[in-house]
Amino acid sequence: MFHKEGQKIVIFTFFLVVAAIFAAQYLVDVEWIRFTIQITALVVLIAILQFFRNPKRPVTPNFDEILAPVDGKVVVIEEVDEPEYFKERRRQVSIFMSPVNVHVTRYPASGTVTYSKYHPGKYLVAWHPKSSTENERTTVVLHTPKFGEIGYRQIAGAMARRIVNYAEEGEQVTQGEDAGFIKFGSRVDLLLPLNCNVTVKLNQKVTGAKTCIASVRKADD
């Protein structure tokens, strides 16, 4: 199953690859050149297909947990000053996506969208410290029953040129549902309350809508 944001690209690439394979077959006489063109075309098609894949991941919403919004690797866990919306200290957990990861963004929690804004910007590499505030990005805030307000940012990387964000202020959303897509993009930051219990570690690989990122801190913790 492929994400709807990639359907046009997948169809266009498919026909382009088919045309390249047939053109090479009938127009290129040198066998190794013909073979190289055809293999390269197939590799390009496979890369596009895997990038826009959208695996089904059923979720039973859990108000006590924040789930990973994307697939990738945890590259940052730290306290930060968040100036855009919260204007206070927040616990930031950042997930970096490589080109081979699923790039679907999913809602990390159920709740009400209280803020959703797009910011044009630069295309620094996603692991750059300033990418969170200077790159093209969207900021979304959800009001949740147990954690209060939590935020997440979709951040474009060096290759990204378009972020898709479905969150609209005032709507009710459900944990694990499709929240958007980063086309050839690279990173999502979670902005969580300081009193939550972060359950992942640096360099840990996480799976969107499956891995628990944070839980409600118990009274005796």
Give the residue numbers annotated as catalytic, written as ranges.
186
Residues 6+ apart with CB under 8 A from 10: 2, 48, 49, 52
Q: What span, in angstroms and rounded, lies between the C-alpha atoms of 50 and 1?
A: 10
Task: Give me the half-sphere count of Cα atoms (radius 13 Å) on the Cβ side of residue 44.
Answer: 18
Residues 6+ apart with CB under 8 A from 36: none
Specify the DSSP class assigned to residue 121: -
Q: How many CB atoms lie under 10 A from the CB of residue 83?
A: 9
Residue 72 carries which side chain, given as an amino acid letter?
A: G
